[in-house]
Each structure stands twice: as C-alpha cells, then as structure tokens.
Amino acid sequence: MTTSVLAAPPKGQGQGRGRTKLSHDEILRYSRHLILPEVGPQGQQRLKDARVVLIGAGGLGSPAALYLAAAGVGTIGLVDFDVVEESNLQRQVIHGTGTLGQSKLDSASARIRDLNPHVHVERFETRLTSENALEILADFDVVADGTDNFPTRYLVNDACVLLGKPNAYGSIFRFEGQASVFYAKEGPCYRCLFREPPPPGLVPSCAEGGVLGVLPGIVGSIQALEVVKLILGVGETLVGRLVLFDALQLSFRELALRKDPGCPVCGNAPTITELIDYEAFCGIEAAPTYDGAEVSAPDVAREIREGAGVVLLDVREPQEWDICHIEGAMLLPLGTLPATLGALDDRAKIVTYCHKGVRSLKALEILKSAGVSNVRSLRGGIDAWSRAIDPSVPRY
C-alpha cells in the first residue's frame, strides 16, 4: 500500500473528513472519479491540490499533460522551449495544425485551458539546466520526465534525488518504450539502472532513428497514470519496477529494479551531491572538433558543377534514401561501412552526407581510420542541401 506523495491534509479546525472545496462545476466534471471509492471527493481534492511538472511538451508530455489536466491536477508546470513543427504532429497530440509555429508552451497551455479551465498552468519557457533545475522542480510534488536527450534525463534524475521528489519516467525509441517511477526515498533511481549514458551518437535520437506515433501515447499515458497514483496514494506504483513495452509484439515485460548501494547519487556514499555539467558528463563537449572536415552545401554543389570528381556517399538507411537522396549519390549505410569500404576508390574526393550532418561525421571517422584521406562531411546533411541547393528534395 502506498501513501500519497502530498503532505497529509490539515486536520481539525472544523475541516471534517470528506469536506472539500470543489465547486458544483467541478463535482459534475469529475463525477466518474468521485464515485470511485479509491478517489472520492478527498482524492479529487488531492489531485486539485497537487503540483506536477512535465519536463518536455513533446511526444510523451502531450498525452501526459492532456490526461493530467483532464483528471483535474490543479497545477501543471511545463518546461519546454521548442516551437511546434509539422514533423511533431505525427505523435505530439497536444499540438495541432492550427498552432504550427507557436511555442509549444503557448500551444499546450491553450489546449489545456480548453480541456479543463480549472487547471492552472505554470510556464517555464527555458531549457532545463543545472542552474535552474532545483529552483523549478522544488515547487512541485511530482516530476514527469519526457525529455528527448540523455543530458536532461540525468539532470532530472539527479535533481529529483537531491530534492527527494518522485520522477514518473518514460522513454521511447522506434517501437519500444520504458517506464518506471524513480523515487530515491523509496527505491532506485535512474542511475541505479544506467549509471552512465552511452557515448554521443551510439544510440540514435528519435529524430534520427524514428518513432512510431502511437507509442508515446501509451508510454506517456503510463507516466500520467503513475503520477495520479502517486498523488492519490492508491495501488502499486512502478517504484522498483521497470516496464518494457514492445509495440510490435504488443507485449509488456516487467523487471525488478534494485537500489544500487554504489549509486553515485542515491547510494550509500554518494559522490554527486550537487548538480554537475550534464553535457560534459554525456561526452558532448568531449566530442572531437571537425575543423576543415566539413564542407557546406553550396561548396559541394560548386565542386560538382566544376567537375571536380566528387563522390557523394549517402550513409543513411535505405528507407531514408527512398524518401529523398541527392542525384548521383551512392548509398552505403553507416552500419555497413567498415565492411563495404572496399567498394570505394581511395583516390576519390568523397563527401559523406546524412540527414542533418551527424552520422556523416561518424562515417568520416570510419573512412579516415580505414586510410581514406580525401573525405569530408556535408555540413547540415541533405536537409541543408534541400534548403540551400535543391528545394525539390523534400525535407523530413
């Protein structure tokens, strides 16, 4: 049996059991909750008193915010600094075609207001950083982590451990999701599961690797569910359990999580006692610089026009090649590269390219270490090519 993460409501002073401050409108709106013995008027009042902050108003944050607002969580904090883009709408259901180009906070706030005017939205139009995280999160009862990058995930985890807050965690990639509640007061934290992040570039982001649009609907809803249970103090939360969801198999697996006594932030002798530099921790600053190894789209176009013998090497996946590719290029997906190097003439002037210019730099490294000297990477990838050179190439 769990207890609510909210402080117990004040007793006495004529505030008898069962008395709430819900208006008639609210009683009607929440009637399906009120008749559940596990919620009832007191539970609904708890939801109204609760303060929940969502880190990210994207794929996971969208369903989480919608369901938490509908459920009557009184205050929802939103931390995001992005703008609504067309490619978000395949999964970020809180936004719409009518809010394209708006900030995600404007778009999400308007949708929440329409869904439930009793909800107060607190807006943090900023990137969550080591400088502001403790201040932002300190005022909330529960945190829901729906960010899209490792530095912010470790930042949210460490801030929650330091502040003693529960973190309803969800993460997705392609067809698979993970969910848990990291609550160091009662169980393990994210670092107990993954002590350190993978090096940059090893695990592709959803922007690079893709994600099925329905998947965040399921995982983000699990996060909202866990938030509600933490507030109500009912049922068994995911503290100490990791749920793995596979959309293609439609299977849920549950694994036991244990607190790692050696955990650097929640273990017996923590070495992390304040927030650190998470970009550096995730190896992002340590990434090598590529001075002179990159070439701009206009320069490549000019070299091709001048007949300089440029060989364009597309290192994306075949399905990306099918969306669009640069005329005359050759497809050698990054994953095949060490093995397919033999197909390349080592005297060719090679320019590698990918979607946005990240994977092509990895390809460049592989080619250089295989002894190919004349190789550069297209800065900004085919996306930059579409914008600067050939608008008939669709952007994605």
Contacts of 93 (CB under 8 A, 6+ apart): 62, 63, 66, 217
**Separation of alpha carbons 390 and 396, rounded Å:** 14
Smallest distance from other proteins to CB 79, Å? 12
Tell whether residue 165 is a contact of Zn ion (CB under 5 A).
no
205 binds, among other proteins, Zn ion, none (CB under 5 to 8 A by kind): other proteins
Given the complex with other proteins, which of 78 and 378 has the nearer CB atom?
78
Tell whether residue 389 is a contact of Zn ion (CB under 5 A).
no
Active-site annotation holds for 266: no
Considering only residues 266 through 305, tell me which ones interact with Zn ion, judged by CB under 5 A.
Answer: 266
Residue of 215, 220, 274, 272 lying closest to 246 (CA atoms): 215
189 binds, among Zn ion, other proteins, none (CB under 5 to 8 A by kind): Zn ion
Tell whether residue 193 is a contact of Zn ion (CB under 5 A).
no
Given the complex with other proteins, which of 40 and 333 has the nearer CB atom?
333
Smallest distance from other proteins to CB 27, Å? 35
Smallest distance from other proteins to CB 165, Å? 18
Tell whether residue 57 is a contact of Zn ion (CB under 5 A).
no
Residues contributing to the site for other proteins (CB under 8 A):
56, 58-61, 145-150, 153, 170-176, 178, 193-198, 202-206, 209, 211, 216, 242, 244, 246, 248-249, 253-258, 260, 335
Given the complex with other proteins, which of 199 and 309 has the nearer CB atom?
199
Contacts of 281 (CB under 8 A, 6+ apart): 151, 154, 196, 197
Tell whether residue 211 is a contact of Zn ion (CB under 5 A).
no
**Separation of alpha carbons 396 and 382, rounded Å:** 10
Active-site annotation holds for 206: yes
Smallest distance from other proteins to CB 179, Å? 12
Specify whether the CB–CB gap between 142 and 52 falls below 8 A.
yes
- Applying CB under 5 A, the site for Zn ion has a residue count of 5
Task: With contacts defined by CB under 5 A, name the span among 94-102, 260-268, 274-282, 330-338 that binds Zn ion.
Answer: 260-268
3-class SS of residue 357: coil
Give the C-alpha distances (Å, rounded to integers) separating 317 from 53, 200, 228, 328, 372.
Answer: 37, 19, 40, 17, 22
Given the complex with Zn ion, which of 191 and 316 has the nearer CB atom?
191
Tell whether residue 162 is a contact of Zn ion (CB under 5 A).
no
Bridge partners (DSSP) listed for residue 170: 179
What's the gap between Cα 3 and its chain centre? 28
Smallest distance from Zn ion to CB 188, Å? 6
235 binds, among Zn ion, other proteins, none (CB under 5 to 8 A by kind): none
Q: Which long-range contacts (CB under 8 A, 24 or more apart) does 47-50 make?
A: 47/71, 47/72, 47/73, 47/74, 47/228, 47/231, 47/232, 48/21, 48/22, 48/72, 48/73, 48/74, 48/118, 49/6, 49/9, 49/74, 50/6, 50/74, 50/75, 50/141, 50/142, 50/231
Residues with catalytic roles: 206, 354
Q: Which residues bind Zn ion (CB under 5 A)?
A: 189, 191-192, 263, 266
